[in-house]
Amino acid sequence: MCPDEGKGTRGFDGGGPFHMNRFRREKRAQRKHRLKLRRRPVNILASLLTVMTLYCGIASAFAAITGDFRKAAYLILGAMVFDSLDGTVAKLTHTVTEFGKELDSLCDVVAFGVAPAILIFTDFIKVEQSEHTIIAKLGGVMAIVFAICGALRLARFNTFQSERRDYFTGLPIPAAGGAIATFVLFVHELEMPVAFRVLAPLTLMLAFLMVSTVRYPKDKMKALVFAPSKAFPIIVVFVFGIGIFHVLSDYSPSVALFPLAIAYVLYGIIDTFYLRVFRKQSWLAQTQVENAATGAPASTDPAAQPKTGGLL
């Protein structure tokens, strides 16, 4: 056997020094990355506000189990306030971290997914005790579907859409939980006897919207900017809305909250419908005019449409 046989390739096979050096470099880079993550600052105020969101969700579940539905609904609305504050504080202090994002998502699942689901379930149980109907026995199914769709909505957002700045894809889970809470306040204030028959389709609609591709505005200031031709009619609608809100708030402030929640839910549906129907028709008409001027064949491929927004 030649003395040099097998020595020239040891630096490139699985057991040579070249492989060992590369392995050490990779391990060293991984340690540096983990150390960098540990040393990232954590915003205590934003984290405490996020924890308060979790507290409100747990307290709401306790209140619903004991039959205090009004308190349970108000605690979910309180969780919405804390959820909006923690993100605002983190952005103002430029301390948006992965820790904060993960903590916020976990707290949102409890406060706006599990807590409203328990509220739905317990409200249906109360009805089932008095009315032995098929609808009254579906409370558990409605609650499970709502909570699972909320978790899927958050997982999809964190994985694919957290970097988007213009819009949310699907109804945000705080808005869905808030709609359930305001509806409970609305029907308990008005003492509607058939409320559970409305709660069932409302729950399914909100669950579907959370996992749908319906767009909801993410930039709140940009959402209020419209073309001049649309601005005046929208202002008139808002004026009438303010009048209705004033009348309802005189009767009870809790009654006025549900129309506001439903208005936000319907806004995304209308905006998406406008985007997919009217903008497509406008694009087809413009394409036909351009093709007639240039003599090119007409194209009806929707994929060639410009990627523009809806009403915004």
For 168-195, the three-class secondary structure string (H helix, E strand, C coil) is EECCCHHHHHHHHHHHHHHHHHHCCCCH
Tokens, residue 36? 């960098």
Q: Which CATH class is domain 38-219?
A: mainly alpha
- What was the pLDDT predicted at 12? 45
Q: Residue 171 — pLDDT band, cuts 50, 70, 90?
A: very high
pLDDT, tens digit, 9 for 90 and up, residues 259-312: 889 989 998 888 888 877 776 665 555 556 555 655 555 444 444 444 444 433
Domain boundaries, the chain: 38-219
pLDDT, tens digit, 9 for 90 and up, residues 187-209: 888 777 656 678 888 999 999 99
Q: Which residue has the higher pLDDT, 86 or 8?
A: 86
Q: Which residue has the higher pLDDT, 256 or 213?
A: 213
- What was the pLDDT predicted at 6? 47
Instruction: Identify the weakest region by mean pLDDT among 246-250, 252-256, 263-267.
Output: 246-250
- What was the pLDDT predicted at 306? 44
Cα–Cα distance, 19 to 302 (Å, whole number): 52
Contact 80, 177 (CB under 8 A): yes
- What was the pLDDT predicted at 309? 41
- What was the pLDDT predicted at 75? 95
Mean pLDDT of the chain: 76
Count of C-beta atoms within a 10 Å radius of residue 106: 14
The CB-side HSE value for 159 (13 A sphere, CA atoms) comes to 6
Contact 108, 92 (CB under 8 A): no
pLDDT, tens digit, 9 for 90 and up, residues 91-137: 777 777 778 888 889 999 999 999 999 998 888 777 666 666 666 67
Cα–Cα distance, 176 to 216 (Å, whole number): 12
